[in-house]
Amino acid sequence: MSLLKILRSTPFVPVLIGGILMGLTPAPTHLWPLAWIALVPLWVVILSPISSENTKFRTMWAVWLGATWGIGYHGLALAWITGVHPMTWMGVPWLASLAIALFCWAFITMWGAILVGGWAWGMVVLHRLFLTPSSNSQSPETRKFASLRSLIRVLLGIALWCGLESLWNQGALWWTSLSYTQSPNNLIILHLGRLAGPSTVTAALVAVNGVLAEGWLQGHGEHRAKTWGGLRRGYGIGAIGLLLGFHLLGFSLYRQPLLSSPETTLRIGIIQGNVPNTIKLYPEGWRRAIEGYTAGYEVLAMRGVDAVLTPETALPFLWQEWGSQERSQAPTFYQAVMDRGVTAWVGALGKRDDRYTNSLFTMTGDGKLLSRYDKAKLVPLGEYIPFESILGRFIDRLSPLDAQLAPGSLDQTFETPWGRAIVAICYESAFADLFRRQAAAGGQFILSPSNDAHYSATMPAQHHAQDVMRAIETDRWAVRAVNTGYSAVVDPHGHTLWKSQLNTYELHEATIDRRQTRTLYVQWGDWLTPLLIVLSGMTCFFSREHDHRVQ
């Protein structure tokens, strides 16, 4: 039985399997090659005549199929969110904790499913409006034009997917771009991100999947000598050519040497404090944090590092600049910095008006606060309640803070004694444009303080994969300090030069290079998505006009 016949007989099963295959590709697995074929079942199903010819019915059929694929992908890839359970340490009853964890998983899964359902809806509607020949248009010229229509559908599918990912990326919930399925294992293809960001990698994945899918659609009914198991040979060769071409282009960027000089190097110490969230915000956790980070800072300072990086809210209390009169009342970490004279990047709480901020401070060796970065992309439900006036009465806050956190602005810069740095705190690693803006404003290296302690081991691996992508896209070194791991050092080609173990106390020092290069993505941002949208619009118009001429 051919693939097309299987898809027609039981469409939801292979579509769900395709989504699950895509969900298996992100870290920590090494199954990234599956991403180059996992979208094919959905593409074939929604564009083949498997359901009623009633337009409204078929459109809704496509939406449900797309949502099914999205549930398979996002549901599996984001299953680590259930690791927030149990939250009994926060005073949340066990059953309520389970309900909250399942609600969060279901919500973010459906948010991703809406994206895929919207893509499927758009493909069917736009195909009907612009790429379906008139019923009386069966001339030889129209039949020859079928292959071109097929390629237009591929372009349309790429543009629509990239456009929806770009739209989703502007919101508060974002993590599972198709591009992150290739990180951190396929470093060559990730270098396409230097051209136009993660949308370049997404576009490559959708293109190969689309050509394969169109090959099965176009191969249906043809003589078997012209197909490979129902896949039209020309399309199969084209998909292989695209796959190789994208990797060759990525390899040309990957092989560029990393040049450095002693004048631009910086030696950074990393402290992984390993303070479990179950005690972090209570007196025992404060004591353990102050002792562990103070001792770690002193060890690294004696080893001769230029600066020390701590994780997100490593010292979970309000940080300030203590004067000489108040020094005896300051935390021992503050006093250690004054004694050793080595700059520290301190993850702690700040305050703006009547709300706390999740911040990173630059504290110089003389005790002065040189700069501050406030987390701009806060975690919904974890750090603030969306639509608080409505949802606040029904949803228990996952954060034990007394007040919702205040977000920082998106145009912050972060000064250090060695020039500007790029800062992203934890969840912000998924937002590529946040890194791009800071790199364009002069950021020379990436500091990524995070805390993944409350999730399963899959989440730290995916978080690390996100920072690998950001290092490649901006051509910057990245230094990660994570409460319980994975802390890491990543070079601009995405190589992980050091990565900690999970749930251990660790100290590490690494030499990085301060870079001022500007990739095409840093200079122009995501120029590819609007270009694809314009090109697909032009080709759809051309197809419609051609259809009118041949009638």
Among the options 214, 312, 428, 473, which is catalytic?
312
| CA angle in degrees (0–180, nearest 5) for 56-58-59 | 65
Backbone conformation region of residue 406, classed left if phi is above 0, alpha if psi is from -120 to 50, else beta:
beta
C-alpha dihedral sign at 324, 325, 326, 330: positive
Let me know how many helices (H) and strands (E) the chain has, helices first: 19, 15
Q: Tell me whether residue 368 is one of the annotated catalytic residues.
A: no
**Distance (Å, whole) CA 180 – CA 77:** 11
If one counts every other C-beta atom within 10 angstroms of the C-beta of residue 496, the result is: 19
CA atoms within 13 A on the CB side of 433: 17
**What DSSP element (H or E) covers 436?**
helix 432-440
Q: Tell me whether residue 375 is one of the annotated catalytic residues.
A: yes
Nearest residue to 331 (alpha-carbon basis) of 361, 303, 375: 361
Percentages of the chain per state (helix, strand, coil), in multiples of 5: 55, 15, 30
Query: Using a CB cutoff of 8 Å and minimum separation of 24, what contacts does 28-37 make?
Result: 28/457, 28/458, 28/461, 28/462, 30/185, 32/181, 32/182, 32/185, 32/186, 35/178, 35/181, 35/182, 35/205, 36/205, 36/208, 36/209, 36/243, 37/209, 37/212
Burial of 320 (0-12, 13-18, 19+ CB in 10 A): middle
**Distance (Å, whole) CA 501 – CA 485:** 6
Q: Where are the alpha helices (DSSP H) in 78-192?
A: 94-126, 140-144, 146-169, 187-190
Report which DSSP code applies to 319.
-
End-to-end CA separation in angstroms for the chain: 37
Judge contact between 487 and 512, C-beta under 8 A.
Answer: no
SS (H, E, C) 28-74: CCCCHHHHHCCCHHHHHHHCCCCCCCCHHHHHHHHHHHHHHHHHHHH
Among the options 280, 375, 377, 499, which is catalytic?
375
266 forms beta bridges with: 512
**Distance (Å, whole) CA 497 – CA 281:** 32
Please name the residues in contact with 13: beta carbons below 8 A apart, sequence gap of 6 or more: none
- One-letter amino acid at 60 equals M
Please name the residues in contact with 380: beta carbons below 8 A apart, sequence gap of 6 or more: 172, 173, 386
Among the options 104, 162, 426, 540, which is catalytic?
426
Whether the upstream peptide bond of residue 28 has omega within 30° of 0, thus cis, is yes
**Distance (Å, whole) CA 166 – CA 318:** 35
**Distance (Å, whole) CA 84 – CA 446:** 28
Judge contact between 69 and 17, C-beta under 8 A.
Answer: no
Q: Which residues are catalytic?
A: 312, 375, 426
